[in-house]
Amino acid sequence: MKNWLSLLLLCIALGLNAQQQPQYTQYLLNSYLLNPALSGIENYTDVKVGYRQQWAGLQDAPKTAFISAHWALGDEYLWANALSFETDGNNPRSRSYTQNYTASPAHHGLGFVAVSDKAGQLSTTTFDISYAYHLQLNKQLNFSLGAAGGITRMAIDVNALLLENPRDPALNNAANARLLPDLSVGAWLYGASFFTGLSVQQVLPQKLSFSGDEQYNTGKQVPHVFLNSGYKFYVSEDLNVTPSLLFKYVPNVPLSVDVNVKMGFKDRIWIGAGYRKHDALNMMAGFNISHLVNLSYSYDVTTSVLNQASKGSHEIVLGLLLNNVYKVVCPQRQW
Domain boundary assignment for the chain: 3-322
Second CATH level (architecture) for the domain 3-322: Beta Barrel (2.40)
Contact 298/276 with Cβ under 8 angstroms? Answer: no
**Spatial distance between the Cα atoms of 21 and 67, rounded to a whole number of angstroms:** 15
Closest listed residue to residue 66, CA positions, set 32, 40, 38? 32
Considering the chain, what percentage of its residues have pLDDT values greater than 70? 76
| Residues near 27 by beta carbon (within 8 Å), at least 6 away in sequence | 33, 34, 228, 246, 258
pLDDT at position 258 is: 95
pLDDT at position 11 is: 45
pLDDT at position 285 is: 96
pLDDT at position 82 is: 45
Q: Which residues of the chain have pLDDT under 50?
A: 1-17, 81-92
| Residues near 20 by beta carbon (within 8 Å), at least 6 away in sequence | 13, 124, 202, 221, 222, 224, 250
pLDDT at position 134 is: 96
pLDDT at position 74 is: 78
pLDDT at position 236 is: 87
Torsion of CA 326, 327, 330, 334, to 10 degrees: 40
pLDDT in tens, 215-261: 555 567 889 999 999 999 989 888 889 999 999 999 988 899 999 99
pLDDT at position 216 is: 55
Q: How far apart are the first and last CA of the chain?
A: 40
